[in-house]
Amino acid sequence: MRKTLADWRPAIDDAIADLVPREIDTDYLESFFGDPTYEYDPDGIQRALSNPIWDLLDRGGKRWRAVLFLVFIEGFGEDPAEYLPYACIPEILHNGTIIVDDVEDGAAIRRGEPALHHGYGQDVALNAGNAMYFLPLKVLADDPADLPADRRLAAYEMLTYELNRTHLGQGMDICWHNESEVRATPEQYLEMCACKTGCLGRIVARLAAIIADQPPEVEEAVARYAELTAVAFQIGDDILDVENSLGRAGDFGKEFGNDIHEGKTTLLVIHAMQQSDSEQAKRLQEILNADSNTDAEVREALEIIEETGSLASARERALDLAAQARAEIEPLEFDDETGRKLREFTEFVIDRDE
C-alpha cells in the first residue's frame, strides 16, 4: 500500500494545484470565480488562501483518501487518470477539516510544524479551512469527466449528507473536550469517529461508486468498508500518539503527549478510566483537565493508560474493525489486484508508524 500511495501522490498534488494554484493571478481568479464586480486582489488572496493551503499540503500527509478513491475507480473498471480531479475532493475536504480542527482544539503542532493558526493567525486559518469545504465543489460544477446530470446531483446530495454528519462528530468531540469529566462510552466514541473521520472515508467510496454508476448495494458496501477502515485509522492515530510519546513510534508530526495536552477523550482514555482504580482515574482526569502539563505529568498519564491495558484493548478493537471492513468487500467482484490493495489498506491504517 505504501508503494501505491507513493506512486500516485505526485499526480494528486498536480491535480490539486490545478484547482488551487500555488501562484494566484487575476487570470485564475476570473476563470475560477468569474469576473469581479470591481477588482480582485491576487496578492491578498495568495496570502490568505494559497499560501496557508500549500503550506499544510507540502508538509506531508499520505493522500490516502485520494488514492483510495482511485483504487475504487480502477476496481470499478474505469481509468483512474481520467478522474484525478475528483480524487482531489476528499483530499481537500480532509485538509480543510484539519485546519479548523487545530483551531478548535488549540493544537500546537501539525505535521511537525506549528499549526497554521500559529503562523497565519486564527482568522486566516479559519477562512482557508472553511474555503476548503467549498473549493472541491468546483470539480463537480466543471464536470471534467462529462458525468450525466443525475450522477452529478447524486454526488452533490451525498456530499451534503456526509459533510453534515462530520460536524456532528466534531461537535461531540468538542463537547467532551470542554467537559470536566470523561463520560463518553466506547460506543459513543466510535460513533464520533464514524461521523468525524468515517464520513470522509464514506465520501471517498460513495463518490467513486456514484461516478462509476454502481448499484446502491455496491455503493453501501464500499461505504461501510471505508467507514470502518477510517474508524480503525482514527484509533490507530490515537495509539500512535501514545506510542510516539512513549518513544515507540516513528516521526508522528505532533507534539509530545499531544492528546494528553489537549485533554482529548479517546478510546484509550475511556478504557483507562473504566479499568483504573479510583485514585488513578482521579489523577488521569486531573491531568486531562489541566490548562497545561509538564512532561512528567504527561508521562504519568501515559503510564496509567499503559498499565490499564488500554493500548492493547484499542489495538484489538482497531483490528476487529479492519476485519469487518474486509468482510464488507468480500462479496464484491473486484479483480485480484484491487482486492489485494483494499485488504492491504485495512492493515496499513493500523500498522503504520507515522
DSSP secondary-structure letter at 224?
Answer: H
Q: Are residues 153 and 123 in the same domain?
A: no
Measured at the CA of 338, the angle between CA 332 and CA 344, to 5 degrees, comes to 105
Q: Are residues 201 and 132 in the same domain?
A: no
Domain of 71, in residue numbers: 1-146
- Report yes or no: 80 and 73 within 8 Å, Cβ to Cβ: yes
Name which of 66-70, 164-168, 195-199, 299-303 the model is least confident about: 299-303
Q: What average pLDDT is seen over the chain? A: 92
Give the integer Cα–Cα distance in Å for 68 and 74. Answer: 10
Q: What pTM does this model have?
A: 0.91
**Which of 78, 113, 146 delimits the end of a domain?**
146
The three state secondary structure string of 243-300 is HHHCCCCCCCCCCCCHHHHCCCCCHHHHHHHHHCCHHHHHHHHHHHHCCCCCHHHHHH
Q: Are residues 156 and 81 in the same domain?
A: no
Give the integer Cα–Cα distance in Å for 166 and 262. Answer: 20
Q: What value does the mean pLDDT take over residues 139-166?
A: 95
Residue 307: φ, ψ to 5°:
-65, -30
Of residues 294, 328, 68, the one with CA closest to residue 219? 328
Burial 62-84 (b: 16+ CB within 10 A, else e): bbbbbbbbbbbbbbbebebeebb
Q: Are residues 168 and 127 in the same domain?
A: no
pLDDT band at 252 (very low <50, low <70, confident <90, very high): very low
Q: Are residues 133 and 163 in the same domain?
A: no
**Which of 121, 146, 171 delimits the end of a domain?**
146
Q: Are residues 26 and 83 in the same domain?
A: yes
Name which of 6-10, 43-47, 112-116 the model is least confident about: 6-10
Q: Are residues 307 and 334 in the same domain?
A: yes
Q: What value does the mean pLDDT take over residues 174-198?
A: 93
For residue 19, what are the β-bridge partners? none
**Which of 146, 177, 198 delimits the end of a domain?**
146
Q: Are residues 224 and 351 in the same domain?
A: yes
Q: Are residues 193 and 302 in the same domain?
A: yes
From residue 209, give the alpha-carbon distance in Å to each of 94, 122, 333: 19, 37, 13
Residue 167: φ, ψ to 5°:
-75, -25
Q: Are residues 310 and 191 in the same domain?
A: yes
E strand or H helix that includes residue 162: helix 149-178
Measured at the CA of 21, the angle between CA 1 and CA 118, to 5 degrees, comes to 80
pLDDT in tens, 295-307: 888 889 999 999 9
pLDDT in tens, 203-224: 999 999 999 999 999 999 999 9
Give the integer Cα–Cα distance in Å for 201 and 222. Answer: 10
Q: Are residues 337 and 188 in the same domain?
A: yes
pLDDT of residue 171: 94
CATH number reported for the structural domain that contains residue 244 in this entry: 1.10.600.10
- Report yes or no: 256 and 294 within 8 Å, Cβ to Cβ: no
Give the integer Cα–Cα distance in Å for 324 and 28. Answer: 45
Give the integer Cα–Cα distance in Å for 226 and 205. Answer: 6
Whether the pLDDT of residue 96 is over 60: the answer is yes
Total domains in the fold of the chain: 2
Dump strand ranges (E) for 92-153: 109-110, 113-114
pLDDT band at 123 (very low <50, low <70, confident <90, very high): very high
pLDDT of residue 136: 92
Q: Are residues 101 and 239 in the same domain?
A: no
User: Which is more confident, 136 or 249?
Assistant: 136
Q: What value does the mean pLDDT take over residues 3-31?
A: 92
Alpha helices in the chain (DSSP H): 2-19, 26-33, 42-45, 51-57, 64-75, 84-105, 116-120, 122-134, 137-142, 149-178, 186-196, 198-211, 216-245, 258-261, 267-275, 278-289, 295-307, 310-329, 336-351
